[in-house]
Every structure is written in C-alpha cells, then in structure tokens.
C-alpha cells in the first residue's frame, strides 16, 4: 500500500522532539497564545522574510482574516483562480465579497496574469493568486498589475510553504498579505488545523491580531466583530520542530518530482512543468493524463497505490457558484480538471516506491 501522504514515517523520525515539545506545553499549561505561538510567529517571519506574521486557526481563516484586515467586504470584487480548493473562494464570500474567476495558465495551473486586466472593474479591490501545488504564481506580473490598478494583493500560500521567487523572496512575502495553512498534509503540517497570515504593514498586523481574538485590541474591549481563530499552543510546538526541517522536506519533494519526471518520460503523459516564476516545492505532483485518467487510476488502485483528483470540478462550475457563471467558460481550468491526476508525494517516499508507481503507470498505458 502506498498512500498519498504517509505522516507516520515522518513522525517516527522526529518523535523524540515532538513528544518532548508536547510534554513541555502540558507541563507549562499555557495552552492559548503562549510562548510557542509567539516564538513560532517570530520564526516564520524570519524564515519568510516578512516584518509580521500572525498565527491563526486554519488556512481558511488566514484568508478570511487577511481579507477583513484589508478592509474588503460587501460587494467588493476579488480576482482569483477557479482551479483551487474551495476555501480560496469561500473566504472571499464569507467577508461579503464576490470572487471573480480568471482562467489559468495551462502549464503552471496558476492564474493567467494576461487575463486579469480585462476583468478589473470599479468594484475590484484585490487579486488573490494561489501558488497551486507549491509552484509560485507569476508574482512579478501580478504585483505590477496590482500596483497599476491600486489593488491589494493577497497570496494564498496554503500549498507553498518554503517556495521562493526567482529573486529569492519567499511566497507570502510579496503581497500585502500571505495566507498559509498547516493542515497535516501540507508541506509544513501540524497535527490538527492551523494557519498563519503574513503582513507587510504594522497597521495590518494589529488588525489581524485583534480579528483573530474577538476583535479585541485590549482585553475585554472590542472594536469590531472578530473571530476565535487562534493557533493552538500544541500545534505551534509541533510546527516549530518541523519548521527547522522544512527546507530538507521540500528538497526531498523535489527529488521525488525529478525521479517521477525521468521515469514517466516518453509515456505521453504531461508531467509538471516548472514555469520559471520561482522554486516549486511540490505540495502535489500532478500529471495530465489526456483521456487515460480512469485507466491509470484503476491500475494504481488495483495494486493499492493511492492517487487523487485535485480538483475534479473548477470553482465556477461548483453548485455554489455555478448559477452566476453558467454562460462563462474558463476552458483551461475545465480541461485541466478533466485530466489531472495527483500521484503520491511526500519527503519520505523512496526511489523504489516511485519506480513501482511509474512502472504501473507505464504498464497501464
């Protein structure tokens, strides 16, 4: 059996440190907004090269907090990708704004910057690109457009912790805000839900801190309607252990991707292409199968190898949004959704396992 992600293997290697970190939290009994959360925020800010980082309860909340702190609300339009997890657009709707989907680039599966300009209206307030599957979006182009049109830039970095741009800046350090998820299977994953927002301005940081804690700048004084969205101290303690290893984990993901790439060459399958907008950290390894997706998936599943379709239905075709988008085709997102297939990838996946997976795919074709 080869799963999409095997968190047990990773835990076995770091169990001593994790167990000790959890024991220290329990002994200290500072369970909410304690020393590990503060230290983790500081360590993330340093790692990501940003002045401010505010931890919260999930990646979905991170997006919502960023949108709220940016002052985005009722009737505002936010340009984003239709080919992402629902949370990206859900957060936009949660603050009362409208997601405006722009088609994706067929090679990176990220927002196509050439299509953004035509969708800007007088209601547009922000662009929210997703660094999908760990590959940075074309931030130079997108940031330039935001500057030209006076739009805020919010990066969805849920899948891209540790990915960097060609100039060395990390994803999440370019926009006004970066939203990260620490869902267990993410490149930097906790043992439960967790998230973090980066901010460039002190004013935004203050708002984020207040919003995540019931809209309170001063205890029991509430200036706005906020949330209970704090990162748990135990998660922070776990994430600190793993943050120290993130570059190594990402390096191994790249090794897995390279091995897949050479083993699947010549099969006619389209393997992930690095588009030159930054260093891919392969949260997912997603191939395009043409019409052969079912055949490949069945062959893998017959020998207990997992695979997954991220994502089978683009957001503009989801029931919650479909009514407004009925007559608007986004052909690249639709075509990719019909042929994408994600293969197992995690830092501990061995070369022998990758060879087995590739051999099954080759046989199936």
Ligand X SMILES: Cc1ncc(COP(=O)(O)O)c(C=O)c1O
Query: Based on CB atoms, which residue is closest to ligand X, 156 or 176?
Result: 156
Query: Based on CB atoms, which residue is closest to ligand X, 183 or 260?
Result: 183
Residue from 159, 259, 284, 307 touching ligand X (CB under 6 A): that is: 159
Q: CB 172 → ligand X: shortest distance, Å?
A: 12
Q: CB 23 → ligand X: shortest distance, Å?
A: 26
Count interface residues toward ligand X (CB under 6 A): 15
Q: CB 66 → ligand X: shortest distance, Å?
A: 11
Q: CB 144 → ligand X: shortest distance, Å?
A: 23
Token pair 């017959």 is found at 302
The interface region with ligand X, picked from 153-161, 201-209, 214-222, 356-364 by CB under 6 A, is 153-161
Does 85 sit near ligand X (CB under 6 A)?
A: yes
**Residue 326, φ and ψ in degrees, nearest 5:** -55, -45
Residue from 10, 80, 88, 173 touching ligand X (CB under 6 A): that is: 88
Distance CA 140, CA 155 (A): 13
Cα dist from 147 to 140, 152, 153, whole Å: 11, 8, 9
Does 232 sit near ligand X (CB under 6 A)?
A: no
Does 84 sit near ligand X (CB under 6 A)?
A: yes
Query: Based on CB atoms, which residue is closest to ligand X, 130 or 165?
Result: 130
The interface region with ligand X, picked from 54-62, 223-231, 292-300, 331-339 by CB under 6 A, is 54-62
Q: CB 68 → ligand X: shortest distance, Å?
A: 15
Cα dist from 229 to 15, 31, 159, 175, 179, whole Å: 27, 14, 20, 22, 14
Query: Based on CB atoms, which residue is closest to ligand X, 41 or 193?
Result: 193
Does 183 sit near ligand X (CB under 6 A)?
A: yes
Question: How buried is 298 (Cβ within 10 angstroms: 0-12 exposed, 13-18 middle, 19+ buried)?
Answer: exposed
Cβ neighbors of 229 (< 8 A, separation 6 or more) are: 56, 57, 58, 61, 65, 195, 211, 212, 213
Task: Give the residue nearest to ligand X (CB).
Answer: 59
Q: Is the separation of the CB atoms in 40 and 239 below 8 Å? A: yes
Helix (H, G, I), strand (E, B) or coil at 122: coil
Query: Based on CB atoms, which residue is closest to ligand X, 70 or 358?
Result: 70
Q: Which residues of 22-41 are buried (b: 16+ CB within 10 A; e: fewer)?
A: beebeeeeeeebbebbeebb
Does 108 sit near ligand X (CB under 6 A)?
A: no
Cβ neighbors of 58 (< 8 A, separation 6 or more) are: 181, 183, 193, 194, 195, 229
Does 58 sit near ligand X (CB under 6 A)?
A: yes
Token pair 């929210």 is found at 128
Window 191 to 230, contacts with ligand X (CB under 6 A): 193, 195
Distance CA 282, CA 347 (A): 10
Distance CA 142, CA 129 (A): 8
The interface region with ligand X, picked from 5-13, 133-141, 156-164, 264-272 by CB under 6 A, is 156-164
Window 296 to 325, contacts with ligand X (CB under 6 A): none
Distance CA 96, CA 151 (A): 17
Residue from 60, 80, 187, 213 touching ligand X (CB under 6 A): that is: 60
Query: Based on CB atoms, which residue is closest to ligand X, 87 or 92?
Result: 87
Residue from 41, 156, 176, 232 touching ligand X (CB under 6 A): that is: 156
Cβ neighbors of 87 (< 8 A, separation 6 or more) are: 59, 60, 63, 158, 181
Window 325 to 354, contacts with ligand X (CB under 6 A): none
Q: CB 308 → ligand X: shortest distance, Å?
A: 12
Query: Based on CB atoms, which residue is closest to ligand X, 87 or 127?
Result: 87
Chain positions contacting ligand X, by CB under 6 A: 58-60, 84-85, 87-88, 130, 156, 158-159, 181, 183, 193, 195
């Amino acid at each position: 059996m080869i799963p999409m992600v095997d968190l047990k293997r990773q835990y076995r290697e770091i169990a001593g440190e994790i167990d000790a970190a959890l024991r220290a939290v329990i002994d200290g009994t500072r369970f909410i907004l304690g020393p590990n959360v503060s230290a983790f925020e500081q360590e993330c800010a340093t790692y990501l090269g940003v002045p401010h980082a505010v931890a919260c309860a999930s990646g979905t909340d991170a997006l919502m907090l960023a949108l709220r702190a940016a002052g985005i609300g009722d009737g505002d339009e936010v340009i984003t990708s239709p080919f992402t997890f629902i949370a990206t657009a859900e957060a936009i709707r949660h603050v009362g704004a409208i997601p405006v989907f722009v088609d994706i680039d067929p090679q990176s599966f990220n927002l196509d910057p050439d299509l953004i300009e035509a969708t800007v209206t007088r209601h547009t307030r922000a662009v929210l690109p997703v660094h999908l599957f760990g590959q940075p979006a074309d931030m130079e182009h997108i940031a330039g457009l935001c500057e030209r049109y006076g739009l805020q830039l919010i990066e969805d970095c849920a899948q891209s912790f540790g990915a960097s741009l060609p100039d060395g800046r990390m994803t999440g350090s370019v926009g006004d805000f970066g939203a990260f998820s620490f869902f267990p299977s993410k490149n930097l994953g906790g043992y439960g839900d967790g998230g973090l927002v980066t901010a460039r301005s002190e004013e935004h940081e203050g708002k984020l801190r207040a919003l995540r804690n019931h809209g309170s700048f001063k205890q029991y004084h509430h200036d706005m309607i906020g949330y209970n969205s704090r990162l748990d101290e135990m998660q922070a303690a776990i994430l600190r252990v793993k943050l120290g290893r993130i570059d190594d984990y990402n390096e191994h993901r790249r090794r897995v991707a390279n091995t897949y790439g050479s083993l699947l060459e010549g099969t006619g399958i389209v393997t992930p292409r690095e588009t030159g907008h930054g260093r891919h950290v392969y949260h997912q390894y997603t191939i395009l199968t043409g019409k052969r997706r079912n055949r490949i998936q069945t062959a893998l599943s017959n020998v207990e190898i997992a695979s997954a379709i991220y994502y089978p239905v683009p957001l503009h075709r989801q029931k919650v949004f479909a009514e407004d988008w009925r007559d608007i085709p986004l052909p690249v997102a639709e075509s990719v959704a019909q042929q994408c297939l994600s293969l197992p990838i995690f830092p501990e996946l061995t070369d022998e396992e990758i060879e087995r997976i590739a051999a099954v795919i080759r046989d199936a074709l």
